[in-house]
């Protein structure tokens, strides 16, 4: 009995001690858990509350499709297409570098380009989706989506992307897009409604009407798990597509002009207007660029190539190129002479092939001369000597007055930005420029469109449109109307008169008669414009403008002459001559003679225009 008691007591004490130890351990564990719970819920409660909310509900922006741009016949020039994209929410990505590498492999993209697209998002941007790959094909998209379960914070979506149906066609007119930067948002109050990374118009119609074209983005709230994987759609606000813009442009004429310039890889510009309204029917600048490259983000190497290209494809030569007008200027000298009563239709001048002023001899383009010519014959055959003498009598300031009365030497006011003013020289201009007096020899050169004169192709087309229509200067314009996506008209644009040429109807009639003779009479320099569809007659004027830096003694017609030293070629025409409905001005840089280089381009445009009219009258075209 004693043995049992003595042997059982130690066992009971050991059990008690063990139970006490276990109880203390349990209490300690619970204290740790309670302490941790207090820390998480009280000390760090606000932080984890925000984090939980962000991880549970994701707000995602849904881009709106930009409005379409159509030509006057409803042909869609610019629209939108779907682009499959991959985006990453930085805050939700578990291992960012690994995630980006996996996306690059699945989407078939270079890892460096994926990282460059991702950038370095900071602040609020870390909670917003960052595009890392775009324009995936369906196989690439399927490859990514099949592994989304393992890619925390990765999103795929379909986004509308700008699509320029005809590539580089009308690129300078339509414009290009670009991604807006933080610096622009900070500096430009007009961009206050935009966000960093939004796509905006950089130039052309895309910039001019960006507010109408861009539409209104929508959004959606998504329920996601702790790894950023989508669980459910909570709410959706549908995006509102942008408004559509209808232009005055006739894309068939645009293509005809571009094809004609491209045929021999010519650099230059073409402008076609309706002289009755000022509507722009074609506006061409070559070389051009493909605005599709800018739809999202242009490759830096391609952008540098465009900037460094010596032919400057980003320059809109139609309204930014400034060139000596050559013999197309002779209508100004003729108008001035008639209005100032220095000549009449019967005044004759002898051309022996040259004109001498002081110790200098000014040659006519025709070495043997034109013989005795009156105003009509001088225009038809483009006799330099006749206009040398007439210009000298007028003087540079009176020449400038009549040039400016036609709208030359000033911006036309077309809707596009970047238009250049050109130059119409005067005595005062020379004195202000370099402090030297104007001399008579300068007037001789100016009177045939050489010297300091500088015009844009758009100015030349506008001036000849005023001559063709009887003296009304219309502001050239590109916009016909703006429409809602359902076709409801928001705004229409009417012709706008910019002024009237202060010249008598008789003077303009005499000049038009000469221009008609340029095309249709023997020895006329614009004979290529004969035999038009429907028997229509055209009128026009050729021009050959010397360039700065012509080597002394070089032959102007030499095929071996360096391109940059060759003459610019001009041709301006309107048709039909008795009822003008189209005016076309063509400039071919370093093209040589206007009649051989520029006139064939103009002919292609006029022929296409007349053929289209014939189809409309026959009921074969709306």
pLDDT (tens digit per residue) in 442-474: 999 999 999 899 999 999 999 999 999 999 999
Mean pLDDT over 415-433 rounds to 95
So what's the pLDDT on residue 63? 82
d(CA 438, CA 345): 30
Give the list of residues 6+ apart from residue 372 with CB closer than 8 angstroms, or none.
348, 349, 350, 351
Name the helix (H) or strand (E) containing 457.
helix 457-469
394 vs 230, which has greater pLDDT? 394
So what's the pLDDT on residue 48? 57
Among the listed residues 138, 63, 128, 131, the one whose alpha carbon sits nearest the alpha carbon of residue 103: 131
Catalytic residue among 83, 117, 285, 327: 327
The segment with the largest mean pLDDT, out of 13-22, 138-147, 534-543, is 534-543
| CB distance 383 to 519 below 8 Å | no
Judged against a pLDDT cut of 90, whether residue 231 lies above it is answered with no
So what's the pLDDT on residue 553? 38
CATH number of the domain located at residue range(s) 57-247 in this protein: 3.90.1310.10
Judged against a pLDDT cut of 70, whether residue 495 lies above it is answered with yes
CA distances (Å), origin 131, targets 103, 179, 280, 299? 11, 12, 39, 15
Strands 280-286 and 57-62: unpaired
Clarify whether 169 is annotated catalytic: no
35 vs 192, which has greater pLDDT? 35
Query: Which residue's entry shows tokens 């219309």?
Result: 474
CA distances (Å), origin 144, targets 81, 84, 149, 378, 618? 21, 11, 10, 74, 55
Mean pLDDT over 326-343 rounds to 97
Name the helix (H) or strand (E) containing 281.
strand 280-286
| CB distance 107 to 143 below 8 Å | yes
| CB distance 372 to 298 below 8 Å | no
Judged against a pLDDT cut of 60, whether residue 558 lies above it is answered with no
Give the list of residues 6+ apart from residue 579 with CB closer than 8 angstroms, or none.
none
So what's the pLDDT on residue 4? 43
User: pLDDT confidence of 540, banded at 50, 70, 90?
Assistant: very high
Cβ atoms within 10 Å, residue 365: 18
Query: Which residue's entry shows tokens 């930067």?
Result: 181
Q: Where are the domain boundaries for CATH 3.90.1310.10 in the chain?
A: 57-247
Judged against a pLDDT cut of 80, whether residue 287 lies above it is answered with yes
User: pLDDT confidence of 549, banded at 50, 70, 90?
Assistant: very low
Structure tokens at 8: 């059982």
Mean pLDDT over 88-109 rounds to 85
So what's the pLDDT on residue 564? 67
Judged against a pLDDT cut of 80, whether residue 42 lies above it is answered with no
So what's the pLDDT on residue 238? 86
The segment with the largest mean pLDDT, out of 14-23, 224-233, 311-320, 592-601, is 311-320
Structure tokens at 560: 């071996």
So what's the pLDDT on residue 55? 55
Of 150-154, 222-226, 319-323, 379-383, minimum mean pLDDT range: 222-226
User: pLDDT confidence of 21, banded at 50, 70, 90?
Assistant: confident
Strand partners, 57: 223
Per-residue pLDDT tens for 155-178?
888 888 899 999 999 999 999 998
366 vs 3, which has greater pLDDT? 366
So what's the pLDDT on residue 53? 54
Judged against a pLDDT cut of 80, whether residue 127 lies above it is answered with no
The segment with the largest mean pLDDT, out of 189-193, 290-294, 589-593, is 290-294
Of 221-225, 236-240, 356-360, 546-550, minimum mean pLDDT range: 546-550
3-state helix, strand and coil shares in percent for the chain, rounded to the nearest 5: 40, 20, 35
d(CA 20, CA 526): 117
> How high is the mean pLDDT of the chain?
87
Q: Where are the domain boundaries for CATH 3.40.710.10 in the chain?
A: 251-617
Per cent of the chain over pLDDT 90 is 59
User: pLDDT confidence of 258, banded at 50, 70, 90?
Assistant: very high
So what's the pLDDT on residue 301? 87
d(CA 622, CA 618): 10
Assign 175 to helix, strand or coil. coil
User: pLDDT confidence of 554, banded at 50, 70, 90?
Assistant: very low
So what's the pLDDT on residue 560? 54
User: pLDDT confidence of 144, banded at 50, 70, 90?
Assistant: confident
User: pLDDT confidence of 6, banded at 50, 70, 90?
Assistant: very low
Q: Out of 3.40.710.10, 3.40.50.2300, 1.10.287.3510, 3.30.390.50, which CATH number does the structure's domain 251-617 have?
A: 3.40.710.10
Name the helix (H) or strand (E) containing 244.
strand 244-247
So what's the pLDDT on residue 555? 44
d(CA 575, CA 464): 11
Q: State whether the Cα torsion 454-456-460-462 is positive or negative.
A: negative
Per cent of the chain over pLDDT 70 is 88
């Amino acid at each position: 009995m004693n043995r049992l008691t003595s042997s059982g007591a130690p066992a009971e004490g050991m059990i008690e001690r063990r139970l006490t130890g276990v109880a203390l351990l349990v209490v300690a564990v619970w204290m740790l858990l309670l302490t941790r719970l207090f820390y998480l819920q009280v000390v760090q409660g606000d932080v984890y509350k925000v984090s939980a909310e962000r991880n549970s509900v994701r707000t995602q922006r849904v881009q709106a499709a930009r409005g379409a741009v159509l030509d006057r016949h409803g042909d869609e020039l610019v629209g939108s297409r779907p682009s499959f994209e991959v985006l990453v929410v930085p805050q939700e990505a578990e291992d960012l570098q690994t995630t980006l590498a996996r996306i690059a492999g699945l989407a078939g993209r270079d890892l460096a380009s994926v990282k460059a697209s991702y950038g370095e998002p900071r602040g609020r941007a870390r909670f917003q989706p960052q595009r890392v790959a775009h324009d995936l094909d369906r196989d690439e998209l399927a490859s990514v989506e099949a592994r989304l379960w393992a890619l925390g914070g990765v999103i795929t979506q379909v986004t509308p992307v700008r699509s320029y149906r005809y590539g580089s066609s009308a690129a300078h007119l339509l414009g290009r897009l670009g991604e807006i930067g933080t610096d622009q948002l900070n500096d430009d109050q007009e961009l206050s409604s935009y966000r960093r990374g939004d796509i905006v118009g950089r130039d052309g119609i895309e910039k001019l009407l960006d507010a109408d074209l861009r539409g209104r983005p929508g959004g959606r709230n998504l329920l996601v798990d702790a790894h950023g994987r989508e669980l459910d759609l909570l709410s959706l606000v549908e995006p509102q597509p942008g408004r559509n813009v209808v232009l005055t442009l006739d894309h068939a004429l645009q293509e005809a002009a571009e094809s004609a310039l491209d045929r021999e890889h010519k650099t230059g510009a073409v402008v076609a207007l309706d002289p009755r309204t000022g509507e722009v029917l074609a506006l061409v600048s070559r070389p051009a660029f493909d605005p599709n490259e800018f739809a999202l983000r242009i490759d830096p190497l391609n952008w540098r190539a465009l900037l460094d290209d010596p032919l400057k494809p980003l320059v809109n030569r139609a309204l930014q190129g400034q060139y000596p007008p050559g013999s197309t200027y002779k209508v100004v000298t003729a108008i001035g002479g008639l209005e100032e009563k220095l000549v009449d239709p019967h005044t004759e001048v002898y051309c022996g092939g040259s004109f001498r002023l002081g110790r200098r001899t000014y040659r006519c383009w025709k070495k043997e001369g034109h013989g005795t010519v009156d105003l009509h014959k001088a225009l038809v055959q483009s006799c330099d000597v006749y206009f040398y003498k007439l210009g000298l009598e007028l003087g540079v300031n009176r020449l400038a007055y009549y040039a400016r009365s036609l709208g030359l030497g000033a911006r036309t006011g077309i809707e596009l930005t970047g238009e250049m003013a050109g130059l119409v020289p005067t005595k005062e201009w020379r004195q202000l420029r370099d402090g030297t007096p104007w001399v008579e020899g300068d007037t001789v050169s100016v009177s045939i469109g050489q010297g300091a004169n500088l015009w844009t192709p758009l100015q030349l087309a506008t001036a000849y449109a005023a001559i063709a229509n009887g003296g009304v200067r219309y502001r050239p314009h590109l916009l016909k109307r703006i429409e809602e996506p359902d076709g409801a008209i928001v705004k229409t644009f009417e012709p706008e008169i910019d002024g009237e040429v202060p010249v008598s109807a008789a003077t303009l009639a005499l000049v038009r008669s000469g221009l008609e003779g340029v095309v249709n009479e023997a020895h006329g320099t614009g004979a290529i414009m004969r035999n038009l569809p429907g028997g229509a007659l055209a009128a026009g004027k050729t021009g050959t403008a010397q360039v700065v830096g012509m080597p002394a003694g070089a032959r102007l017609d030499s095929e071996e002459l360096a391109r940059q030293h060759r003459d610019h070629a001009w041709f301006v025409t309107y048709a039909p001559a008795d009822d003008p409905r189209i005016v076309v001005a063509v400039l071919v840089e370093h093209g040589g003679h206007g009649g051989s280089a520029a006139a064939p381009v103009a002919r292609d445009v006029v022929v296409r225009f007349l053929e289209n009219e014939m189809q409309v009258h026959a009921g074969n075209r709306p």
